[in-house]
Copies of this chain bind each other. A is one copy, B any other.
């Protein structure tokens, strides 16, 4: 209590002791002085396995992993279609997040047993259930194909260059996929500054072993999403089978019984999806001033409509809750990204870097000739894009989900006829097939919601666009937004997937003949919208061609000392388990099971803070002081979901599942003062497996797997060895 009260109180022991640098890592002062030249903190630590930053690791942590350590970690880290995961036992057990196995959990559910809600535990191996369609990819090898790709690009227009590059990538990939189970992908680094061919082994027989109830895997729901302190068991365990028997991986991650502790050096391996740290200032300003504000206003508009409808009855609420959650999730994320770009300190650092970067390029006549004009070309294109931003925003089919489908149905046959380089981006290469699949996928919506969203969209478009705007005039045809929206949705058959499939199969003729009101509308709007979208595409092609040059320039000026932006490819990030200043006090590095029960009690056990029944009945068995979740300074982003957190012995100490709210601006500039990755603690996992889910067989499999250390250990730290390493037993992995 401030001012008048007499708060001068003698604390037994200074709190600072908790904050002092732990013994395992070097102190910040040491870190600052010993970093190798070229290391720029704000570009983060999403390192590739091709160029592990050994100098930096040695300088910062006194840690130098052996090649065997890196190979083991790479091969144990396996990719899901949109997540990360890892082998965590010699019997092919794979650990990932609950939300990464959602489709499998739903697929193996029965009408009587919704395993999303109830959780799933295979008491025996025989009970493990096959996940239809699920697969994981293991990165076998990496080959630099920069020359092959770049030499294929000779076109004179950006669009042709794009097409040539795509063709070269296709061809490299195809010639690599020599046998069954081998999948290849060309990974883009530095926006095209470099290319690498990743060869994967694909495993397609995965079986669900364990998944907790969604209420505990996503405890805290939307409010707690992207935040910390946190209390989620966001875990699922699947097993890879080969020939109907558990696959026995040569490389897997052992389990740390001790788990993460404050100050530990830890690594995260996984597939961060996308970052924008190498964007030019002009690109970031465009996001800040044009794109993100427009996105946020569209989220707000749609949320207002959906929440209003959801209030009206339970059925509508259920139908819309996924859409509402998804919008809130996006809104929270984009708000966080935008806050970074609006932070003048962030932008000042970006400006400073760009100045230094351009100076380096300008200082070398060859580099200057090749790349010198790229920044200005991008800035011009971004300015021109901003000039048509309003049209680009509204000249679309985004007003309702069904209209969006109608737009795709009208455009697919038309775009399919064009050469790749003349198509809109979302119709190029394999994207057009993805789009076809999306048109056929079930649409989760409600006619009333569609109408109201379309009406709200038209109302806002009317405010934003000039009175005589041709697109709007064509859409409204003199009617009010309400009447026009009503007319468009009433009588459409597009909610029915058969109707959509028939139109798609029927091609341009079927589209031309259709009397479905949404198809008729989309046909009318399409030519008007297309002119703007094509212009925007041309400008984006200019930006992307020049961004590639900037990427090449980055590579030329800084080499691999800057990690490339995330591209959903395997990375390894170093970090430290670390508490942080939060909300005026300190967020502890770990949370506890006590904290879980606290948060539930403090919200009177109401969703999304309601505990599953099993967690109530089994509470007395749990050691509530055990760590549940924890935080690290590792550099992660969406796509890292399911990544293992490992210590310097390559043992699992945790499982990444989120970042805190302060981490969102890291998309553009890495910071570690308050930004943290959030993970489930390895001891939290085994405590829950043993005490709540009563599957000792799995906990034993995880912990018993901890037999081999030495072959994967890096050089020791400069400091005294930690007890964990002293007690590590020596043995032989399979």
Given contacts A11-B325, A594-B597, A606-B17, contact A641 B5 (CB under 8 A): yes
Give A570 Cβ to nearest chain B Cβ, in Å: 14
A321 at the interface (CB under 8 A from B): yes
Give A594 Cβ to nearest chain B Cβ, in Å: 4
A237 at the interface (CB under 8 A from B): no
For A116, list chain B residues within 8 Å (CB).
10
Rounded to whole angstroms, the CA-CA distance of A332 and B294 in the bound complex is 38
A588 at the interface (CB under 8 A from B): yes
Q: Are A15 and B661 in contact (CB under 8 A)?
A: no
A610 at the interface (CB under 8 A from B): yes
Q: Are B638 and A3 in contact (CB under 8 A)?
A: yes
Q: Interface size for chain A: under 10, 10 to 19, 20 to 34, or 35 or more residues?
A: 35 or more
Residue of A9, A10, A568, A592 contacting most chain B CB atoms (<10 Å): A9
Rounded to whole angstroms, the CA-CA distance of A16 and B326 in the bound complex is 15
B5, B11, B14, B220: the one contacting A97 at CB < 8 Å is: B5
Q: Are B7 and A99 in contact (CB under 8 A)?
A: yes
B-contacting 9-mer, from A150-158, A407-415, A652-660:
A652-660
For A185, list chain B residues within 8 Å (CB).
none
Closest to A224 in B: B585
Q: Are A584 and B1 in contact (CB under 8 A)?
A: no
For A274, list chain B residues within 8 Å (CB).
3-4
A595 at the interface (CB under 8 A from B): yes
For A51, list chain B residues within 8 Å (CB).
none
Q: Are A325 and B624 in contact (CB under 8 A)?
A: no
A8 at the interface (CB under 8 A from B): yes
A110 at the interface (CB under 8 A from B): no
Given contacts A601-B594, A607-B12, contact A102 B641 (CB under 8 A): no
Rounded to whole angstroms, the CA-CA distance of A222 and B657 in the bound complex is 31
A494 at the interface (CB under 8 A from B): no
A637 at the interface (CB under 8 A from B): yes
Rounded to whole angstroms, the CA-CA distance of A325 and B15 in the bound complex is 11
Q: Are A639 and B5 in contact (CB under 8 A)?
A: yes
Q: Are A2 and B584 in contact (CB under 8 A)?
A: no
- Contacts A2-B659, A595-B595, A597-B625 known; 4 new A-B pairs at CB < 8 A: A9-B218, A227-B585, A332-B584, A601-B624
Q: List 15 A-B contacts (CB under 8 A).
A: A1-B641, A2-B638, A4-B273, A4-B568, A5-B639, A11-B321, A11-B325, A11-B607, A12-B117, A14-B317, A15-B221, A220-B585, A227-B585, A229-B602, A332-B584
The 3 A-B pairs of least Cβ separation, nearest first, read: A3-B638, A584-B661, A594-B598
